Structure 1
Amino acid sequence: MTGTNPAQQAPIDIAALADDPYAVYAQFRRAGPVHRITGTDGLPAWLVTGYDDVREALADPRLSLDKRNVRPGGYRGMALPPALDANLLNMDPPDHTRIRRLVSRAFTPRRIERLREPIRRTADELLDAIAADERADLIASYAAPLPITVICDLLGVAPADRLDFRSWTDALVAPDPTRPSLAREAIGNMLSFLTHLIAGKRTAPADDLLSAMIAVRDEEDRLNEDELTSLAFLILFAGYENTVHLIGNAILALLRHPDQSAELRADPTRLSAAVEESARYDGPMPLAIRRFPTEDTSIGGVAVPAGETVLLSLAAAHRDPRRFTDPDRFDIDRGATGHLALGHGIHYCLGAPLARMETEIALSALLDRFPDMVLDVPPSELRWRPSMRSRGLLALPVRTGGAERTVADR
C-alpha cells in the first residue's frame, strides 16, 4: 500500500473489518495518508487515514456530499428514493444551510433536555426487566430499545406504532447480499410509515419534534415534503442506529476495563469524559459519510481527481498516535476532546447533545444497578455487524452478578 500509487488495491476484507477495523486501518495509516482502495461493494474509492487529514477534509468545502458530483460509475452510497434522500447527509450549502437552520429552530436544546427524565425512567424499566434473569443480551434488551424509545418519543410516534425499526435499519446498514429484496422492502416500509406519520401529525399536531418540523418556517421558507420526510428518516435512522452502537460499544469498553468502571461508580462526574473516550476508542461509525471532490484536490499530498469517492476513516484517525498518546488504550481520563465521532465543521451531528445524554444516562443507570456485571463470553467470541459503515455488536451477552441494587437502594 502506498499513498501515491494510483493502482487499485485488493478489496477490503469485510470479515477482517468486522473483527478488528483498527488493525486494518492502522496498516493503511502506517503506509501513508491516502490510498486508492476497492470498497466492499467492488467500487474504487480513496481512503484517508491520518487524523489531521481527516479533520481537515471533514470541513473542506471542495469535498461535496451531493451525489450529483460523483463521476459516472462511482460509489454513491445507499440508494434511496427522493422522499428519503433529500436529507442533510446528501447536501451542500446553500440547501444544507437553509435546511439545517430550519431544523435547528425545532430541534432545540430545551426540547432535548425535556427528554432527560424520560430517558432515565426508560433505562430503569429496561434494567428492571434485565434483573429478572442472571444472564442478558445488553444489545437486544438495553442498548437497542432505549434509543428507539427516545427517538419515537422525540418524533411523537405512539407506542402502538413503534414497528420493527431495528430490522429495517439492519437491512439498510448491513444488507444481506443473498437477499437484496430485504433492503428494498425496508426502504418501502420506512417510507410508507413516515408518510402516514407525517400526514397524521399535519392533521393533529402535538408537542413533538415532527409536528414542530411541519410547522417551522423562516420568513417565507419552509421544508418541502421530500425534505420533511427525509429529515424524519435521518433522525429516526441515524439517531437510532448510531446511538445503539455508541451505547453498546461504551458498555463493552467498560466491561473490559473493570477498574475504570469502578472509578466511574465512585465518581459519576467523570461519566461525560467516559462517553467522549468511548466515542473515540470504539465509535459507531468507522467511516464518515462519503464525499466527492468538486475539483481536482490534494489530500495529504496525494492528488485526488474530481468526482472520485473519498472515504474518511474516523477509526484510523482516532487511533493516530500523532494526535492521541497510546491511542489503542481505553482511558476515561484521557481528555478525548477533538475526536471526530460526531463530525466536524458544518456537518457536525445535529443530534450530538441527545446522543451524549442518552449514552451518559445509559451508562450511569447500568453501572449503578449492576456493579458486578461481567461479560458472559470471552471477548474473542463477540460477534460484530459485518459492515464497513458501522461498528456495532450483534449481541452483548453478560452475567448480571449478585449485587443488583434496587431503586430504593440508590
Structure 2
Amino acid sequence: MNAFVTGGAPALQRTWIVPRHGPLTPAPGGDSWFVTRYADAMSVLRNPLVGPTEPWTAIARVGQRAGRDFSGLANLLQGMLFSPNDPDHPGLRTLVRKALAQSAPAFAPEVVSAVVRDRLAATRRAGQVEAMEDICRAIPTAVMANALGISANTIKAIRKASLSIFPVYARALPLTVLAELEADAVAAESAILDELSRAEGALAALAELNHAGFGFPTRTLARYVFFLVLAGVETLTGLFGNMILLLHLNPGARAAVAADRQLVSPFVEEAVRYAGPMRQAAPRLAMADTTVGDHPVKKGDMLLVDLEQAHHDPAAFEQPQRFDISRQGPPNIAFGVGAHACLGAALGRLEARIFLDAMLDEAPMVPVKPELEWERHVSFRRLQRLDVTFAT
C-alpha cells in the first residue's frame, strides 16, 4: 500500500485515485465525455478529427457582451502550446523548438546539476524543511530563471497568473473571477515584455530567431515565455514532490536505483506514469463526427482525457497500482502525443533524472507528518506541502 492507490488505513496511505475505467461516460452539462481508458486516451490525442479547445474565444465573447477587456488573459491562454488550432501554431512551435535548441548550454546537465545539488545541500543543513516550496519549486524556478535570464519578480508574476488560469478550461467563470485573472495576466505580460525589451541569453535568442525568420509580434513572444516558465516550473514542482514521496514509500526501489544508476531513467518514467504532475489533458473538441473506441462522438462534443486514470488502466498496465521500476508496457502519455505534445518533455525528464540522482547521494528525506496535504487543483497533482527531515 502507498499514498497513490486505493486503500490503506494509515493516514499516509490514503487514496486519491479511485479506479473507474470503462467506455466513455457522460460528463455533467451534456455534450462532454470522460475518457479514462489508456487506449481511448491515445485515440483522442492522435485523432486528426479531434482538436484542443480554445477557451479565449469564449472569453472574448463574454467580454464583448459585458463591455470588458480580457485581452491580456486571452493572450496568455493562446500561449498554451497544447491548445491553439490556428495556422500559426506549427510556426510558433518551430520557433520555440529552435530557441530551446539554441539555448541548450543554459540547460546543460552540469548546469542543472549544480543548481539541484546546491539547493539540496542547503536544505539538508537546515534540518527540517517544507520540501514543496524550499526544494520542489525552488529548483525548477532557479533553473528556468538562470536559463532565461529573468528576474525573481517576473517569475512570481507568472506564477500568480499560472496558478489560476487552468480552471478557464474546465468551466465558465463569473465576470468577477475573469476580471481578477485579467489583472494577473496583464501583470505577468507586462513583466515579460519588460524582460524582452532588455533580453540577454535565451530570451535574446528567442527574439533574434523570431526577427530573423518568423516575425511574430512581441506580445506573441510574451505569451510563449509565459507558457515555457509555467510548464517548466509548475509541472516539475508536482513531479519532484511525488518523487520524494515515492522514494520514501518504496525503499526497495530506492536501494535498487542507488546501487545501479542505470535505473534512474526507468524510475522517472514509472514515477511519471504512477504519480504524474498533470491530472488531465487539455479538453479536446470533436471537429467532425468520429469514434473513440467503439463509442460514437458527434461534432462539437467535448472529450475530457483523464491522464491519471489512463495511467492506471489495468488493460494497459499490469497491476497498475504497484510502483514497479522494471515495468514493461506502453509509454506514459504525461507529456502528450501528436501535434500538441510538450516541447519541453526532454528537458523535464532531464531535470527529473538529475534531481533523482542527486537525492540518492543525500540522506533520504522523511516526511514529518503522517497526513498528506494535496492541492485541490483541476489540472495539477501535487502536494500542498511536504515537511521533511533528512535521515541520519
Per the normalisation by structure 1, the TM-score is 0.80
Which residue number in structure 2 is paired with residue 257 of structure 1?
250
Q: What one-letter code is carried by the residue in structure 2 that aligns with 1:107?
A: L
1:110, distance to aligned residue in structure 2 (A): 6.6
Which residue number in structure 1 is paired with residue 64 of structure 2?
none
Q: What one-letter code is carried by the residue in structure 1 that aligns with 2:195?
A: L
Which residue number in structure 2 is paired with residue 272 of structure 1?
265
Gaps of 5+ in 2: 1-13, 62-69
- Change in 2 beyond 3 A, CA 1:336/1:367: farther
Mapped contact 1:70–1:308 kept (Cα < 8 A):
no
Match of 1:339 among 323, 332, 345: 332
Which protein is richer in helix relative to its size?
2
Distance 2:71 2:315 in 1: 36
Which residue number in structure 1 is paired with residue 82 of structure 2?
89
Which residue number in structure 2 is paired with residue 22 of structure 1?
17
Aligned length in residues = 364
- What is the identity percentage for the equivalent residue pairs of Structure 1 and Structure 2? 28
- Change in 2 beyond 3 A, CA 1:336/1:191: farther
Match of 2:26 among 24, 32, 36: 36
RMSD: 3.0
1:307, distance to aligned residue in structure 2 (A): 2.0
Match of 1:49 among 25, 30, 36: 36
Give CA deviations for 1:149-204 in whole Å, capped at 9, x if unaligned: 111122221457553654443343579x9994654443232112112111222xxx
Distance 1:160 1:71 in 2: 31
3-state secondary structure, aligned to 2:388:
strand
Mapped contact 2:106–2:147 kept (Cα < 8 A):
no
Match of 1:191 among 189, 192, 214: 189
1:59, distance to aligned residue in structure 2 (A): 1.3
- Change in 2 beyond 3 A, CA 1:165/1:106: closer
3-state secondary structure, aligned to 2:244:
helix
Which residue number in structure 1 is paired with residue 48 of structure 2?
61
Q: What one-letter code is carried by the residue in structure 1 that aligns with 2:190?
A: S
Distance 1:271 1:113 in 2: 23
1:309, distance to aligned residue in structure 2 (A): 2.0
Mapped contact 2:43–2:293 kept (Cα < 8 A):
no
3-state secondary structure, aligned to 2:358:
helix
1:129, distance to aligned residue in structure 2 (A): 2.0
Distance 1:70 1:62 in 2: 20
1:111 aligns with 2:99: no
Alignment map for 1:284-295 (pairs within 5 Å):
284-295=277-288
1:118, distance to aligned residue in structure 2 (A): 2.1
Give CA deviations for 1:231-260 in whole Å, capped at 9, x if unaligned: 111101112111111111122111111111
Which residue number in structure 2 is paired with residue 216 of structure 1?
209
1:335, distance to aligned residue in structure 2 (A): 4.0
Give CA deviations for 1:243-296 in whole Å, capped at 9, x if unaligned: 111111122111111111111111112111110000000101111111111112
Per the normalisation by structure 2, the TM-score is 0.84
Gaps of 5+ in 1: 1-18, 403-410
Which residue number in structure 2 is paired with residue 365 of structure 1?
358
- Change in 2 beyond 3 A, CA 1:173/1:303: same
Which residue number in structure 2 is paired with residue 353 of structure 1?
346
